[in-house]
């Protein structure tokens, strides 16, 4: 039994058509057709995530590998009060005293901005007269590797 067969089994269990499954997990009908078609070997990760989010009681291990039972055993799933965080035994529903610290949650008024006077910079522009330039020669190069020089008359 491959993953397509397990998806079809979920559809039968939920009594859903391909169109209804597509609508319930938020994908197009074309995605369902492509996923269940003969040419596609494995559905996308996004499709699997959406399917598992919609039907969270379905065992992800069963969906991906076919091992175990289709429905997860509720007794084996820890409740939120039993889940511990990475750094200790804090309850995730009550993250600690720091979240309730009113001083950290209180709005603080902004301080009046202090404007520092800026030093005025004076800039002096010097204009230099540059003597006008005159053309002394023009060279024209041709595609046969020759050139011609033109000089103005004085």
pLDDT, residue 81, reads 47
pLDDT, residue 100, reads 52
pLDDT, residue 89, reads 52
pLDDT, residue 118, reads 80
Q: Give me the domain span that covers residue 30.
A: 3-76
pLDDT, residue 77, reads 47
Task: Name the token pair of 91.
Answer: 């309850």
pLDDT tops 60 at residue 8: yes
CATH code of residue 59: 1.10.260.40
Separation of alpha carbons 16 and 7, rounded Å:
11
Span 14-35, average pLDDT: 86
Output the average pLDDT for the chain.
Answer: 78
pLDDT tops 90 at residue 149: yes
In a domain, 89, yes or no: no
DSSP state of 57: T
In a domain, 134, yes or no: no
pLDDT, residue 56, reads 85
pLDDT in tens, 87-123: 655 444 445 555 555 555 566 677 787 777 888 888 8
What are φ and ψ of residue 12, in 5° steps?
-65, -40
In a domain, 10, yes or no: yes
Task: Name the token pair of 43.
Answer: 């559905």
Number of independent structural domains in the chain: 1
In a domain, 58, yes or no: yes
Report yes or no: 11 and 18 within 8 Å, Cβ to Cβ: yes
């Amino acid at each position: 039994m491959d993953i397509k067969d397990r998806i079809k089994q979920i559809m039968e269990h939920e009594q859903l058509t391909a169109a209804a499954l597509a609508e319930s997990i938020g994908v197009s009908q074309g995605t369902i057709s492509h996923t269940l078609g003969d040419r596609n070997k494995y559905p996308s990760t996004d499709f699997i995530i959406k399917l598992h989010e919609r039907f969270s009681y379905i065992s992800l291990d069963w969906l991906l590998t076919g091992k175990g039972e289709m429905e997860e055993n509720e007794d084996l799933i820890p409740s939120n009060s039993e889940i511990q965080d990475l750094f200790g035994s804090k309850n995730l529903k009550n993250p600690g005293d720091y979240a309730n610290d009113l001083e950290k949650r209180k709005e603080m008024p902004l301080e009046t901005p202090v404007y520092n006077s800026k030093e005025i910079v004076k800039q002096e522009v010097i204009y230099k007269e540059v003597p006008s330039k005159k053309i002394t020669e023009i060279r024209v190069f041709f595609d046969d590797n020759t050139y011609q020089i033109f000089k103005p008359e004085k």
